Homo-oligomer: A and B are copies of this chain.
Amino acid sequence: MAKTGYNTGGKNAVLDFFRSHRDRQFTADDVINALEEKCRATGEKLPGKSSVYRIISKFEEMGALRCFFDSETSKRLYQYAGEHCDDHFHLKCSECGQVVHLECKIGDQLLRHISSDHGFSVSAGKSILLGECEKCRKKRENT
């Protein structure tokens, strides 16, 4: 990963948090709350709100984080950017927020078809397929 600037506690804390929850997306506020909890436990220094926003922006710029949007709350959502996430689609459960990587041939086929037949070059990494995961569907059907 391209690295710029200084290596500080705030940056490390934020990146650690995203790295240890790679299959989820978080708002800036989620991150702040999570860090608050962690720092309360460990006694580490808590980065200020604006710093977290700035750190997140920097990571996004560097490509370490990916930015999406929550259609319910209209807040920005961020997720750790895996190595090859540009190549494939991502399924997101609207209910629990889990994100699944769709690393399948048929995804590639769709991309090629869209490119050749519709003249559209889709950025799979930026495209989220929203739906409901199996777990949440079962939970919903059993109530």
Q: Point out residues on A near B: beta carbons under 8 Å.
A: 67-69, 71, 74, 76, 91, 93-94, 100, 102, 104, 106-107, 109-110, 113-114, 117-124, 126-134, 137
With A100-B120, A131-B122, A134-B120 as known contacts, state yes or no: A69 contacts B71, CB within 8 Å: yes
Please give the distance in Å from A137's CB to the nearest CB on chain B: 6
| CB <8 Å contact, B102 and A119 | no
Instruction: Indicate the member of A106, A124, A129 with the most B CB atoms within 10 Å.
Output: A129
Bound CA span A106–B118, Å? 12
A129 neighbours in B (Cβ, 8 Å):
114, 120, 122, 124, 127
Q: List 10 A-B contacts (CB under 8 A).
A: A91-B120, A102-B114, A104-B117, A106-B113, A107-B110, A114-B129, A119-B133, A121-B132, A121-B137, A128-B128
With A69-B71, A91-B114, A110-B110 as known contacts, state yes or no: A130 contacts B137, CB within 8 Å: no
Please give the distance in Å from A130's CB to the nearest CB on chain B: 5
Select one of B69, B109, B122 contacting A69, CB under 8 A.
Answer: B69
Bound CA span A74–B57, Å? 13
Complex: chain B residue closest to A137, CB-CB: B121
